Structure 1
């Protein structure tokens, strides 16, 4: 069984292994032992702290294969971003140049360096071991966060975003970086990306131009990837869009990957999830619809996927094995929601 649980101190080596598999461009999990140690410390603190919107609280989860006790995936939620250090993105806008005398009227798409998404929550750090990209594991890993958001919405800002990985080649080279960033930063894309992942963002403000940048002046290769995602990220983008996230014209300043956004309460899995009392039975009929199911604990959070028949009223019957993996007993409460929206499964 695949179980989603909070990150633990003993997961450091497993996270480093996942970071190496993720490669260049996965800025939220660089292959750096010190950064990983800091991520673990921050996550443990978030799960054991009171709500505090004056600082970021970072909730990190891992997917564990209970048959092998192996950590095979990671995902996270930030309660709020851009408070301890600036949060930068490009906002795509428009500048109009016109001359009545010459009868010329032109509109030009532009990039504006912005901090507009400061104090938003963020779903982040999503990566699944390639060997486990089957059996709906990716959907479980990503959407498990939404049941946590539904149960603990008071810990997060009302608006939430998701940065998508932008286009880069097999060598980790970004066309957008080559066409723009490389002219202002005297370093390769991988180095700048790595520094950002480590939280060293001061150089962005120091070196990036503050005036609007005309997209038409960029090389075609750079223009073509603005708002586009890496091939490996296409399923993640579709998944988020099926849950209600939308692209609103904000892109990453390094690879121009799109940022998707919505309100926490508008996420389909948050909005449709329900709580049920637990009844434990040995022989449970198997349903035809996959559901996300989680307990309602904070630091003891557990979530998995199950094919189950859901009653119209009354308690939810689950097996003793599932109850054990979710750390629940009879008359405890679980939260449940279909894994897919009706639109996505149609």
Structure 2
């Protein structure tokens, strides 16, 4: 069975292997032992802490195959993007150039460096084994954290943001980076991402142009790559779009991938989730698949379960599912249909 749970320091070797396997651009999942250890320790402290307002907390979840003990995926949440430093993005804007005398009225697409999204909660660090990308466990790995937010809203902001890895080719060449960032840093896209994962994106962003970039002046490849999604990130992008995120306002400053945002209360998994009391039964005539969480913090668990459940009724779980969620008869769970 695959169970989503908070990361533990003992998971470090397995998490680092996930980082090695993840595509270039997932800088929140660096292939660096010290950085990953820091992130895991910060996550453990965040899950253990008493929180009444979102701040510097960060949460990292892993998807564990309980039969083998191996990890097959991970995903995270940063409670406040840019808590200790600005969170930079490129904002899509339109400038109007007009002259009444010349009868000219042109609208020009520009990119403006901004930190509009600083302070919003950030969904980050998503990765799942390729063989599971197209299935329901990718939904568990991504949407399970949305149910965690639904159960603990005080820990998070009113707006959620996520950066989707932008397009790069098989040689890890990013047309957007080559057309923009490389003019200010004479390093390759993988080198830029590796550098920012070890240190910080902010010091690179601060050397980027702070005046608007006129998109028509960029190379054709850079323009085509704007808001384009890396093939290995397409499944994650599709999940967020079904959840109601919007994709047309911001893009990543490195690879040009789309930066999505949504009002937390309006996200599908959060708005449509329900709480139910638990009954434990051996025989269940299931009718639908559900994401189910136990609603805890440090002992958080989430699974996919086949249930015969209707809103307002108790949720009957098999002993196996109840054990995986660490709940018993009479406990409360939160669930939403797949």
TM-score by length of 1: 0.94
In structure 2, the gaps of 5 or more residues are none
Q: Distance in 2 between matches of 1:73 and 1:136?
A: 13
Task: Give the structure 1 partner of residue 13 of structure 2.
Answer: 13
Task: Give the structure 2 partner of residue 278 of structure 1.
Answer: 278
| Per-residue deviation, 1:276 | 0.9
Q: Is the Cα–Cα contact under 8 Å of residues 310 and 316 in structure 1 kept in the other structure? A: yes
Task: Give the structure 1 partner of residue 322 of structure 2.
Answer: 323
* Equivalent runs, 1:31-70 vs 2, <5 Å: 31-51=31-51, 53=53, 55-70=55-70
| Per-residue deviation, 1:53 | 4.5
Task: Give the structure 2 partner of residue 241 of structure 1.
Answer: 241
Task: Give the structure 1 partner of residue 295 of structure 2.
Answer: 296
Aligned length: 338
Q: Tell me if 1:187 matches 2:201.
A: no
TM-score by length of 2: 0.96
Task: Give the structure 1 partner of residue 166 of structure 2.
Answer: 166
Q: Tell me if 1:115 matches 2:115.
A: yes
Superposed CA offset, 1:255-288 (max 9, x none): 010111111110111111111111111222222x
* Equivalent runs, 1:81-230 vs 2, <5 Å: 81-230=81-230
Q: Distance in 2 between matches of 1:251 and 1:231?
A: 17
Q: Tell me if 1:332 matches 2:331.
A: yes
Q: Distance in 2 between matches of 1:11 and 1:131?
A: 21
Task: Give the structure 2 partner of residue 73 of structure 1.
Answer: 73
Q: Distance in 2 between matches of 1:313 and 1:89?
A: 42
RMSD of aligned Cα (Å)? 1.4
For the structure 1 residues 298 and 263, does the alpha-carbon distance in structure 2 shift closer, same or farther, using more than 3 Å as the test? same
Q: Is the Cα–Cα contact under 8 Å of residues 92 and 249 in structure 1 kept in the other structure? A: yes
Superposed CA offset, 1:157-214 (max 9, x none): 0111111110001121100011111001121111111222234234224411111111
SS at match of 2:4: strand
For the structure 1 residues 317 and 202, does the alpha-carbon distance in structure 2 shift closer, same or farther, using more than 3 Å as the test? closer
For the structure 1 residues 23 and 235, does the alpha-carbon distance in structure 2 shift closer, same or farther, using more than 3 Å as the test? closer
Q: Which runs of 4+ in 1 moved over 4 A?
A: none
